[in-house]
Amino acid sequence: MNDVATQRSKKMTHQDIWQAIDNFALQQQMSCSGLAKFSGLDATTFNKSKRWSKYGQPRWPSTGSIAKILNSTGKTLEDFIKCVCE
């Protein structure tokens, strides 16, 4: 199976999405907190402590939050998905 087919067949996980946000922030030369503020979100939106509920359930970032970071940085959903696949 080639790389593209492998990436398409990969299931997206909670960890993948949060790692993509971390990678995306680094690519923009920002911390996750800085990226959140730059995007008009609360500075704690992407904190590691907010990625899991107190009951151990995964908390996923909202599509609205992802849209805001894309809009504020001028990046595309494809750019973000590339971070998921890294």
pTM here is 0.80
For residues 10 and 49, what is the distance between their CA atoms, to the nearest angstrom? 26
Residue pair 47/32 in contact (Cβ under 8 Å)? The answer is: yes
Residue pair 28/73 in contact (Cβ under 8 Å)? The answer is: yes
For residues 41 and 81, what is the distance between their CA atoms, to the nearest angstrom? 21
Least confident window among 8-17, 22-31, 58-67: 8-17
For residues 60 and 39, what is the distance between their CA atoms, to the nearest angstrom? 18
What number is the average pLDDT over the span 69-80? 92
Greater confidence, 72 or 7? 72
CATH superfamily of 12-85: lambda repressor-like DNA-binding domains (1.10.260.40)
